[in-house]
Amino acid sequence: MFKVLVSDPISDLGIQKLVDAEDVIVDKKPGLSEDELVAVIGEYDALLVRSQTRVTARIMAAGKLLKVVGRAGVGVDNIDLEAATQRGIIVINAPDGNTITTCEHTFAMMMAVARHIPQAYLKTVGGEWDRKSFLGVELRNKTLGVLGMGRIGSEVAKRAKAFGMEIWGYDPFLTEERAEKLGIRLSSVDDIIRNADFMTVHTPLTPETRHMIGKAQFEVMKKGMRIINCARGGIIDELALVEAVDQGIVAGAAFDVFESEPPAADHPFLSNPKIIVTPHLGASTVEAQENVAIDVSEQVLNILRDKPFMNAVNMPPIPANVLNILQPYFNLGEKLGSFAAQLTEGAIQEITVNFAGELAEVDTQPLTRYIVRGVLSHHLGSEMVNVVNSMHLAKERSVNIIIQKSHTSRDFTNLVTVTLRSKQEERLVAGTLLTGYGPRIVQIDKFPVDVAPGGNLILVSHNDKPGIIGRVGTLLGTNDVNIATMQVGRKIVGGAAIMVLSVDKGVPKDVLSQIAELPDLNNAKEIILY
């Protein structure tokens, strides 16, 4: 008989499967302090929480029988994942439970901004019968740009088609084949900005997506665009949006999220008559609260009964002898994946990982998960991707993963090579651990290098000619960017070459553009590895 403790208020319907199970006893004890939980957790096999209970290392140490901690929701920042992993306790969440409710809220906001519903309501209940001030627009025959074609974005696209809208979709992992299957037009962010009548964002907030819609984008945007954000605050530059609304570029906006929540009392969104706001209600439905509880309850039951399960968010236990070999490479592998992802243009279709040397002798699946996490996190965000769900997320996005092993490595004891392929190109990054130096990137595409994988890097593609290094250094110095280290890779004198610069801070985009415009330079990219 298994015992499950529910320590936060969770829907009764959501945990009904656990309650009805003949081999499970469910106790509901919300509001326990850490000391109280430590005192009772020892008799339970599973713990279910929402966001109120903080599941600390101390609680898990006391949970001698604890096999699983279930979070009825998405975020797991209230659970000590490292402590859970060390004790072999599986942590699961419910990432799909909020999909439909967030999608529907997006549509509610889209309809509201198209027909001025909140503004008209306020005037009507205030005693004014004003039919002239609220001329709206139809959704039919309009172009909807969807930035982010994951679960929620795809559901929005399905419903928009039913309204007779033409869908233009962007996602870093969206291929032409999948776009065709969804019945949408594969587009770039720039295409959507210039052509869409409505735009909705459904991407995670990452360094790459932060202010992805800002002043520069509003300057070229189709006049009369209407914008909806029910994803994350910060994807759209709020001050730039207000300016675009005031200038008549944006006809209206509807936001469920803010860069800082709750927003300040003087936030410009709150006083602008063309901007509709709600207090982060995307997941706030009875059904969503029940669904996340149902999802996590089902997986807890599977874990207790030793059946296949989904949605684990921490690393499963690894045999000690294998862990000793792989663990030093986890950080390197993730950074190789991230480096390669930042190099590659276009939707990534294939990830090939080659393990050479002693690594080929052991089960490298745990290390592969770190590499794939590094690749996906660049676009999806580190909060969404972890070492357990990375393979599932890759499969969900039709990214093919190929593992190769070579028992000998020509120059190194061990070598990890990551190759990414998109429709446009193929890029390669290889790394190893050097005694006394730690993790190193030793190859980028065809060029040998010796680079520490961390911090802010600038990768410059150029022709091998005298004076180039000096010109790049002078330009960076003029713009107050200090160079910490520099590496040059080339195959032949006077041919194609690369330069990798480690700098002390982020490099403004206009400075990168100036570097790329120097004579005999082909391209300059910033690579951020933290």
Decide: 350 and 340 in contact? Cβ < 8 Å: no
Q: How far is CA 285 from CA 103, 154, 292, 419, 498, in A?
A: 12, 20, 11, 43, 53
280 catalytic, yes or no?
Answer: yes
138 catalytic, yes or no?
Answer: no
Q: Which of 22, 131, 140, 261 is catalytic?
A: 261
Report the C-alpha gap between 304 and 308 in whole angstroms.
10
232 catalytic, yes or no?
Answer: yes
Report the C-alpha gap between 529 and 453 in whole angstroms.
7
Decide: 161 and 186 in contact? Cβ < 8 Å: no
Q: Which of 280, 392, 440, 471 is catalytic?
A: 280
Within 10 Å of residue 281's Cβ, how many Cβ atoms?
A: 15
Decide: 306 and 336 in contact? Cβ < 8 Å: no
Within 10 Å of residue 86's Cβ, how many Cβ atoms?
A: 15
Two tokens at 506? 């982020």
Within 10 Å of residue 406's Cβ, how many Cβ atoms?
A: 14
In 3D space, the residue among 350, 356, 366 whose CA is nearest the CA of residue 419 turns out to be: 350
**Regarding beta strands 348-357 and 447-451, do their DSSP bridges make them parallel or antiparallel, or are they unpaired?**
unpaired
Decide: 460 and 498 in contact? Cβ < 8 Å: yes
Classify burial at 61, counting beta carbons within 10 Å of its beta carbon; exposed 0-12, middle 13-18, buried 19 or more: middle
Q: Which of 178, 232, 427, 490 is catalytic?
A: 232
Q: Which residues are catalytic?
A: 232, 261, 280
